[in-house]
Structure 1
Amino acid sequence: MTTIGIISPGAMGSALGRAWAAGGARVVATVDGRSERTRGLAHGLELLPSLADVVRSADLVVSVCPPAHAATVLDDVLAVVGDHRPLLADLNAVSPETVRGLADRAASYGLDLVDGAISGGPPEPGDDTMVYLSGGRAAEVAALPADGIRTRVVGDAVGAASGVKMCTASVYKGTTALWAQALQTAHASGVLDVVLDDLAEAFPEQVPGVGRRIAVSTTKAHRFVGEMEQIAATQAAAGASGELFEGMAAVYRRLAATDLAELSPEEARALTDLTSVLTRLRP
């Protein structure tokens, strides 16, 4: 039985862990020092007393955390790994350059690191959340049975999977920020109904649920700021200017400071009235 250690068992990390557990793996985590919400999200995982217990029990250690914390989490893992040599997988939304730096840091401890990128929401049984993987040992992670996860190895080089994430997230999260900006402006200008009627002709499937989409993203905006900055750096390194997603980072930074951002994602999913959502986006 493969033992998988989940570092930061929030909504995504815990769901990934349960998917692997359903495939037959032993999945361990710790909620030491974490919030009551995280403790609730980690249901179905085997909880151990400390990070050291998780790392030293695992064949594979998976990091799923806000991108700004990826380096700190890796350092925390390296600080307790001792003589144990698990495979590491970084599934955070970071740039190719950032994850290559993490891999070099892990290699200095004699550890291999697989680059991973998650596309979609937390997996559920029968779902197909996509996990892109790259690196010399990516196939080992891809081969793990899971209920709700689909994997694709995109190359042998660490950085390739993160490159995919930076491109797809720029569209998914960038368009959400654009919806928020446009509709908040329409609401303030007194033309929201007219704008929605116009946009519904081009985006008939998106308009009905746009309020919930904006609300849920706002509750995660503090995490998205770092992700937008990583996208900006990735685009700049590719020869595309980074200014657009520096601006997107500013949008999510503003959203993170609103009343709506204080809700949990679960609470935000219950919000269906667009006008109410937009009103709560004011500073």
Structure 2
Amino acid sequence: MTRLTIALLGAGSMGSAVGRALSASGARVLTTLEGRSAASAARAKDAGMQDASLAELAACDFILSIVPPAVAVQSAERLAPALTQADRKAVFVDCNAISPETAATIARTVDATGAPFVDAAIIGLPSTPKFYLSGPHAARAAVLGDAGLNVRVLDGPIGAASALKMSYAGVTKGLAAIGSAMSLAAMRNGAGDALFDELRESQPELAAWLSSNVPRMPPKAYRWVAEMEEIAAFIGDAYPEHRIYEGAAGLYGRLANDKTATDALIDFFGKRGQ
């Protein structure tokens, strides 16, 4: 098999873990560290990723965009001029937690460059991510399964993979938001101990899930704000339930800056869940 050259937009915890898996499989992995923090640069280097120009990224076999959802459109627009000028078009795989509408916006940007676009969704932890692919060019990206990634091609149009991600994250991160919001409310009103004891007695699986997941949430809360907003947009203003996720976005935005509340949640679910 010809050695793949893969560009990665984003060197966060997920991006660097994906980069490490690709490098370990023998792929050449490039990224851009312009404007990135020292921590991101260190993660990229540790994962075997090489710093490169936008022109070099555009000349790769594949481009995987794994960035915070709030900058997904901007990241594609930033690379678009280099993609337009590239003699050989990379397959652009958008792996971000975005709504189908946002995916369609990015697809239009990429289509204008002449490069093929693949809608993708990552589900799972950085150690065990699964990549769901959709759209007319999804099969072209299936070769990434030979480069260390767990790839699953959906029989659906652009937006199907993003819809899957929105729905899955809406359940899991939505549940974490509900558990956090009601636990904080119970603690503020003197019912915290009783709530946890009742959950553990009558809903042991839910208590165990929240105890495992909520204490890991605070460092990610700031990134989940835009994701909840994307889920609200995915549901649509015509449906009142979209406000659930507008509320979740507000909660995660508050928790990103409220150490007292996040410490209380970690104590509530972490220590008591042991």
Aligned partner (choices 103, 112, 115) of residue 116 of structure 2: 112
Residue in structure 2 matched with residue 170 of structure 1 by the alignment = 170
Residue in structure 1 matched with residue 97 of structure 2 by the alignment = 93
Residue in structure 2 matched with residue 184 of structure 1 by the alignment = 184
Residue in structure 1 matched with residue 14 of structure 2 by the alignment = 12
Residue in structure 2 matched with residue 53 of structure 1 by the alignment = 56
Query: Do the aligned partners of 1:218 and 1:261 also contact (CA within 8 Å) in 2?
Result: no
Query: Do the aligned partners of 1:186 and 1:192 also contact (CA within 8 Å) in 2?
Result: yes
Aligned partner (choices 63, 76, 79) of residue 77 of structure 1: 79
Structure 2, unmatched stretches of 5+, are none
Residues 153, 59 of structure 1: alpha-carbon distance in 2 compared, 3 angstrom cutoff = same
Residues 130, 260 of structure 1: alpha-carbon distance in 2 compared, 3 angstrom cutoff = farther
Query: Do the aligned partners of 1:219 and 1:260 also contact (CA within 8 Å) in 2?
Result: no
In 2, the alpha carbon distance for the partners of 1:90 and 1:236 equals 22
Identity %: 36
CA RMSD across the alignment: 2.7
Query: Do the aligned partners of 1:4 and 1:28 also contact (CA within 8 Å) in 2?
Result: yes
Residue 237 of structure 1: how far off its partner (Å): 6.8
In 1, the alpha carbon distance for the partners of 2:31 and 2:40 equals 11
Residue 228 of structure 1: how far off its partner (Å): 0.9
Residue in structure 2 matched with residue 281 of structure 1 by the alignment = none
**Farther off after superposition, 4-13 or 245-254:** 245-254
Query: Do the aligned partners of 2:66 and 2:96 also contact (CA within 8 Å) in 1?
Result: yes
In 2, the alpha carbon distance for the partners of 1:140 and 1:29 equals 21
In 2, the alpha carbon distance for the partners of 1:38 and 1:228 equals 24
Residues 216, 142 of structure 1: alpha-carbon distance in 2 compared, 3 angstrom cutoff = same
Structure 1, unmatched stretches of 5+, are 263-267, 278-283
In 1, the alpha carbon distance for the partners of 2:33 and 2:254 equals 30
In 2, the alpha carbon distance for the partners of 1:261 and 1:218 equals 10
2:204 is paired with a residue whose SS is coil
Amino acid in structure 2 at the alignment position of 1:109: T
Amino acid in structure 2 at the alignment position of 1:71: V
1:20 is paired with a residue whose SS is helix
In 2, the alpha carbon distance for the partners of 1:185 and 1:249 equals 17
**Farther off after superposition, 188-197 or 64-73:** 188-197
2:235 paired with 1:219: no
Residues 275, 213 of structure 1: alpha-carbon distance in 2 compared, 3 angstrom cutoff = closer
Residue 216 of structure 1: how far off its partner (Å): 2.8
TM-score, scaled relative to structure 2: 0.86
1:142 is paired with a residue whose SS is helix
Q: How many residues align?
A: 265
Amino acid in structure 2 at the alignment position of 1:273: D
Aligned partner (choices 15, 18, 24) of residue 26 of structure 2: 24
In 2, the alpha carbon distance for the partners of 1:173 and 1:254 equals 15
For each residue in 1:34-63, what CA deviation from the matched residue of structure 2 results, as whole angstroms up to 9, or x when unmatched? 11221232212232243443333x110111
In 1, the alpha carbon distance for the partners of 2:155 and 2:253 equals 33
Query: Do the aligned partners of 2:96 and 2:121 also contact (CA within 8 Å) in 1?
Result: yes
2:154 is paired with a residue whose SS is strand
Residue 203 of structure 1: how far off its partner (Å): 3.9
TM-score, scaled relative to structure 1: 0.84
Amino acid in structure 2 at the alignment position of 1:30: T
Residue in structure 2 matched with residue 236 of structure 1 by the alignment = 236
Residues 49, 236 of structure 1: alpha-carbon distance in 2 compared, 3 angstrom cutoff = closer
Residue in structure 2 matched with residue 121 of structure 1 by the alignment = 125
Residues 14, 238 of structure 1: alpha-carbon distance in 2 compared, 3 angstrom cutoff = farther
